[in-house]
Amino acid sequence: MTLGLEQTRALEERYLMRTYKRGAVDFVRGEGALLWDADGNEYLDFLTGISVCSIGHCHPAVVAAVQEQSARLMHVSNLFYTEPMARLAQRLSESSLGGRVFFANSGTEANECAIKIARKHAHGRGIAAPEIVSFEGEFHGRTYGSLSATPGLARNEALGPMLPGFRSVPRNDAAALREAVGERTAAVLIEPIQGEAGVLPTSEEALLAAREACDESGALLILDEIQTGIGRTGSLWAYQQSPIRPDVITSAKALGGGVPIGACITAPVAADVLEPGDHGSTFAGGPVATAAALAVLEVVDDPALLRRVRELGALLREGLEALDGVRETRGRGLMVGVGLEDGIDAAALGAELLQSGLVVNVPVPGTLWLLPPLVVDSAQVEQAVGLIGKAL
Ligand SMILES: *Cc1c(COP(=O)(O)O)cnc(C)c1O
């Protein structure tokens, strides 16, 4: 017998720390783009666990990989070799920057690895107090390194002190970025599209300025592709649709298809910075998570699927832009932010949509954040547009 929403909520209120604000639903099952709650109501999921279940809930290939691997060998630690980890590292490197990979268990940890690489690389260049430069509005995670690189959250003095050596400049301000990058700079760490900020694309001009400033100063360019990667924007990595090539990318979220895993992937220039003793993790790169990720890449790393992501993204945005109450849409592929007209309460709209069977997120006032599964079909896209139109 399942508890149901009210009893689950009562347990939560007594025993869980109050760190999350949850929607009033208790999900018990998922398949493809659909979710079901404890009362048997069906929902169309245009959030997919914040772009984690990107190839749909309980994708059969991921379920099979997890079942098979977990019945054979779940964990032996990083003291020994395991094949799925090595094969996944090869696949990630060959599909992107061609260097080496470090596995982690989450996005914030993937960024911690990138921050360590940046600092050690800088020390190797004789920089005593290395600095990492980001844009305002970015989100890089909740552990102290990533948190210190997240300007909005790093201002929370109750959690201070933050790590030293981080600074930010206004979003997309190429001149300010060029100005901020200098002889102390270890890295520029930015998102190709700011996700949590409400799907705000980083301009080509800003990306080019970041690349040039890094080339001139010797700093590393790190792209946080934790949300934009794994096909979300219609290419395996978002940078592949931009004019630049980074030195390091970080991945997590959709990489495991629902199983926690993160990865820090380097170009050859940063591949050998970390040496024995510099970093590690007990769980990371374990056989179950890496087998799941290999199954995910088998599905996503497919030109036909990626083309479909771009087409469906265009269909979704076209439909949304025709609705009364929608001011603009932003993003790329199936990562879509919807800017609402003034006076529309986005939080109330999100709650209303949940009631009517559509799961979305409301990251900031005035914006809906849509991350449908990459395997969504055009009828489901039209259904979502219809539900949003009705709720508006
Ligand atoms: C979600 C996210 C993170 C943090 O990932 P966690 O797995 O929650 O630690 C970091 N950067 C970006 C861009 C994200 O979207």
Span from the CA of 28 to the centroid of ligand 1 (angstroms): 24
Nearest atom within ligand 1 for CA of residue 194: 13
Residues 6+ apart with CB under 8 A from 280: 78
Span from the CA of 292 to the centroid of ligand 1 (angstroms): 19
Query: Cα-flanking dihedrals φ and ψ of residue 238, to 5°?
Result: -65, -35
What was the pLDDT predicted at 208?
98
Asked if residue 269 lies in contact with residue 38, where contact means CB atoms within 8 angstroms, the answer is no
Nearest protein CA to atom 8 of ligand 1, as residue: 107
Beta strands in the chain (DSSP E): 27-31, 34-37, 42-45, 101-104, 131-135, 166-169, 185-190, 193-194, 200-201, 220-224, 248-251, 262-266, 326-332, 335-340, 358-359, 367-370
Pocket of ligand 1 from Cβ distances under 6 Å: 106-108, 139-141, 191, 195, 224, 226-227, 252-253
pLDDT in tens, 232-273: 999 999 999 999 999 999 999 999 999 999 999 999 999 999
* Look-up of token digits 């890449």: 297
What was the pLDDT predicted at 2?
80
Tokens of 254: 């959709």
Question: Given ligand 1 and candidates 51, 134, 139, which is best to mutate, with the most ligand atoms within 8 Å of its CB?
Answer: 139
Q: Where in the chain is the domain with CATH 3.40.640.10?
A: 73-300
- The pLDDT of residue 1 is above 80: no
Span from the CA of 250 to the centroid of ligand 1 (angstroms): 9
Nearest atom within ligand 1 for CA of residue 252: 7
What was the pLDDT predicted at 363?
87
Nearest atom within ligand 1 for CA of residue 227: 15
177 alpha carbon, distance to own chain's centre: 23
Nearest protein CA to atom 10 of ligand 1, as residue: 140
Mean pLDDT of 138-152: 98
pLDDT in tens, 73-126: 999 999 999 999 999 999 999 999 999 999 999 999 999 999 999 999 999 999
What was the pLDDT predicted at 249?
98
Mean pLDDT of the chain: 97
Q: Where in the chain is the domain with CATH 3.90.1150.10?
A: 5-59+303-391
Mean pLDDT of 349-357: 97
Residues of the chain with pLDDT > 90: what percent?
99
pLDDT in tens, 302-331: 999 999 999 999 999 999 999 999 999 999
Nearest protein CA to atom 11 of ligand 1, as residue: 140
Tokens of 366: 């005035």
Nearest atom within ligand 1 for CA of residue 141: 4
Asked if residue 62 lies in contact with residue 296, where contact means CB atoms within 8 angstroms, the answer is yes
What was the pLDDT predicted at 335?
98
Residue 174 half-sphere exposure toward CB, CA atoms < 13 A: 11
Mean pLDDT of 349-368: 96
Tokens of 73: 């060998």
Nearest atom within ligand 1 for CA of residue 253: 7
Distance CA 383, CA 319 (A): 10
Span from the CA of 359 to the centroid of ligand 1 (angstroms): 20
Span from the CA of 324 to the centroid of ligand 1 (angstroms): 32
| Amino acid, res. 48 | T
186 alpha carbon, distance to own chain's centre: 23
Question: Given ligand 1 and candidates 53, 106, 108, which is best to mutate, with the most ligand atoms within 8 Å of its CB?
Answer: 108
CATH number of the domain at 73-300, out of 3.40.718.10, 3.40.1050.10, 3.40.640.10, 3.30.70.100? 3.40.640.10
pLDDT in tens, 203-230: 999 999 999 999 999 999 999 999 999 9
Distance CA 124, CA 275 (A): 13
Span from the CA of 323 to the centroid of ligand 1 (angstroms): 31
What was the pLDDT predicted at 99?
98
Span from the CA of 121 to the centroid of ligand 1 (angstroms): 23
Closest Cα to residue 294, out of 336, 347, 255, 246? 255
Q: What is the CATH number of domain 5-59+303-391?
A: 3.90.1150.10
Question: Given ligand 1 and candidates 48, 227, 281, which is best to mutate, with the most ligand atoms within 8 Å of its CB?
Answer: 227
Nearest atom within ligand 1 for CA of residue 262: 7
Nearest protein CA to atom 15 of ligand 1, as residue: 227
Distance CA 106, CA 250 (A): 10
Nearest atom within ligand 1 for CA of residue 143: 9
Is the backbone peptide bond immediately before 161 cis, with ω within 30 degrees of 0? yes
Mean pLDDT of 59-73: 98
Nearest protein CA to atom 5 of ligand 1, as residue: 107
